Chain A
Amino acid sequence: MSAVIRFESYTWRYSRTKQPALDAIDLEIEEGAIVGIIGPNGSGKTTLAYSINGLIPRQEMGVRKGKVYVMGREVMAYTPAELCQRVGLVFSDPEAQFTAMTVEDEVVFGMENLGLPIEEIERRLAWVVPLTEIGPLMDKPPYEVSGGQKQRVALASVLAMRPPILVLDEPTTMLDPLGRRRVFQVLERLKREYQSTIIVIEHSLEHLIPLADHMVLLYYGKVLLADETEPFFERLAFLMEHDVFPPGVVEFFYHLKQAGEYPADAPLPLTVEDGTARLRELLGGKG
């Protein structure tokens, strides 16, 4: 598998702080993978996201060491325009990015910046609007629709630029449960239908875990653990020591496994559906 993003002993320290926000990290992200990045606030998750799309070092003051490669080329070797066509970034507060007076203008803004012809803009609208289900909102001011709708508008406006890499920085933090679920539904479709590389920084693990192929634990500037999702959560005691609180199902089966009440070689169920099936096997079996 080829790494579409590669960090090589990468360090970033904001000039306003003494400690580096990211401290000599090495990390590879495979093409087409969905990667969940978790860790407490202040661990460098956002710094990591900004380092991929070039906001760091361009918009921030600080000291940078090591390398970040995006699609084989160092981030600094790209112009901002080239980079934003490769990496799309969605922020946690969708409202902060709204600059247009209607949802339609908002979604079109990035495409206009790329200088796409009107016909291509229309083609992409025809793709992204149903995908993110924002059709009925097109004529409304983006800041007046609901929180979940706002985030789908933000997502649409980034997706419309067709970046092969998508980075989402806590995309559902400000959303209610329904809004949260629907944002993840869009990501699921992207994964299924378009094989995009998606990096999701998120506190709410319930929706992230079933979607993620890989998980990364960032802890105060260091990558402490990076693995495929299921083996990642096998290290639950370690994760909990580092302020990761898993969803109930994972925790429940982890405890069963520790107590020998669940087969040691069986994988931990990661979703409620999986958990239900396993629990039925444990209790409802024919013995």
Chain B
Amino acid sequence: MMKPEPYVVAENVTFRYPDGTVALRDINLRFAEGDFVALIGQNGSGKTTLSKCLNGLFKPTEGRILVDGLDTRHTSITKMAVRVGYVFQNPDHQLFNSTVWDEIAYGPRNIQLPKAEVEERVREAAEVVGLDESTFEQHPFFLPKGLRQRVAIASILALRPHMIIVDEPTTGQDVKQSLEIMDFLTRLHEERGHIIVIITHDMPIVARYARRTVLMAHSQILADGPTRSVFAQTDVLAEAFVEPPQITQLAQRCADLGFAAGTLSVQEMLEQFRSLAARRRA
């Protein structure tokens, strides 16, 4: 099987803030077609800085990042925005227009698309996130938080970036709302082929949705691989102060009984239990 061509390649990326703080140290990372990635780790481990480097808001101090073959250091903001979209955690930071329509149209207008095309993209993005026409003339400020977040995502979608990074999409949401947002991102991934990266602290969400997990700590990448195998590396997780979901912890503590360290769901746990119990009875 051919390995998919990477869309984003980070090579030996180091990022230092102007005051000298090192936020990223020698990062090597690739994102390819079909990736649905969770970026996890403590606050301050470098997740957000890395994401901002990936979409060109920050330029690496050393090393380079290629997005779609373009070096972020020499690529304009406009060109980056249509390749990697970044949804900020707090929708209030990114809603600055006076109607929902203008808000979603803001990006397409910035890249100077013709009027008809702008309109088409706004309608499409609004439809994808489930905003109906009655909201178009409303002021984003007065919408409830859940809707504001959707407007924020739609405003990124309208630029049709191939890769979408969402910073803590489930923070402050209850479990049902979290699942709805994640199901929605999954649809974007499966039906429209976007590469999705979520930054999150919610391990059950990671276990349920992310096929691949990148674990960061101390400005470095500690682990990168299928979620199952990252969660199986208990010592590395402990070093990053990350606890896998409860069910995974249970399986790991009973690994000597035959449970897989990479168990991700209650369903998998039940199946293993039943086959182990049956074997014991036999």
A contacting B, Cβ–Cβ less than 8 Å: yes
> Which residue of chain A is the closest to B254 with respect to CB atoms?
A279
A122–chain B nearest beta-carbon distance, Å: 32
The 3 closest A-B pairs by CB, nearest first: A248-B247, A248-B246, A178-B241
Q: Are A177 and B171 in contact (CB under 8 A)?
A: no
Q: Are A282 and B277 in contact (CB under 8 A)?
A: yes
Is A24 engaged at the interface, CB distance under 8 Å to the other chain?
no
Given contacts A176-B43, A177-B241, A282-B277, contact A252 B174 (CB under 8 A): no
Is B115 engaged at the interface, CB distance under 8 Å to the other chain?
no
Give the CA-CA distance A40 to B253 in the complex, in Å. 32
Q: Are A261 and B277 in contact (CB under 8 A)?
A: yes
B contact residues vs A (CB 8 Å cutoff): 41-44, 171-177, 201, 203-204, 241-243, 245-250, 253-254, 257, 265-266, 269-270, 273-274, 276-277, 280
Taking a contact as CB atoms closer than 8 A, the residue among B172, B253, B257 that contacts A272 in the complex is: B253
Interfacial chain A residues near B257, Cβ < 8 Å: 279-280, 283-284
- Identify which of residues 244-287 in chain A touch chain B, using a CB-to-CB cut-off of 8 Å: 244-245, 247-249, 251-252, 255-256, 261, 272, 275-276, 279-280, 282-284
Is A2 engaged at the interface, CB distance under 8 Å to the other chain?
no
B169–chain A nearest beta-carbon distance, Å: 14
Interfacial chain A residues near B203, Cβ < 8 Å: 177
The main secondary structure of chain B at its interface with chain A is helix
Interfacial chain B residues near A146, Cβ < 8 Å: 43-44
Interfacial chain B residues near A276, Cβ < 8 Å: 250, 253-254
Q: Are B280 and A283 in contact (CB under 8 A)?
A: yes
Give the CA-CA distance A256 to B267 in the complex, in Å. 11
Q: Are A174 and B174 in contact (CB under 8 A)?
A: no
Using a Cβ cutoff of 8 Å, how many contacts connect chains A and B?
Answer: 98
Is A173 engaged at the interface, CB distance under 8 Å to the other chain?
yes
Q: Are B43 and A248 in contact (CB under 8 A)?
A: no
Give the CA-CA distance A13 to B248 in the complex, in Å. 43
The main secondary structure of chain A at its interface with chain B is helix
B249–chain A nearest beta-carbon distance, Å: 5
A58–chain B nearest beta-carbon distance, Å: 24
How many of A's residues come within 8 Å of B, CB to CB?
38
Give the CA-CA distance A251 to B257 in the complex, in Å. 20
B147–chain A nearest beta-carbon distance, Å: 13
Q: Are B266 and A280 in contact (CB under 8 A)?
A: no
Would you list 18 pairs from A and B whose C-beta atoms are within 8 A, ordered by A residue? A40-B176, A41-B177, A146-B43, A146-B44, A147-B43, A176-B41, A177-B203, A177-B242, A179-B43, A181-B243, A203-B174, A203-B175, A249-B246, A252-B270, A255-B266, A261-B274, A282-B273, A283-B254
Interfacial chain B residues near A282, Cβ < 8 Å: 273, 277
Task: Taking A248-B266, A272-B249 as given, write out 11 further A-B residue pairs in contact, using a Cβ cutoff of 8 Å, ordered by the A residue number.
Answer: A147-B43, A175-B43, A177-B201, A177-B241, A180-B201, A181-B243, A245-B204, A248-B245, A251-B247, A280-B257, A282-B273
Interfacial chain B residues near A284, Cβ < 8 Å: 257
Given contacts A40-B174, A178-B42, A276-B254, contact A249 B276 (CB under 8 A): no
Interfacial chain B residues near A39, Cβ < 8 Å: 174
A202–chain B nearest beta-carbon distance, Å: 11
Q: Mark A137-160, 1 if CB is under 8 A from B, else 0.
A: 000000000111000000000000
Q: Mark A33-54, 1 if CB is under 8 A from B, else 0.
A: 0000001110000000000000
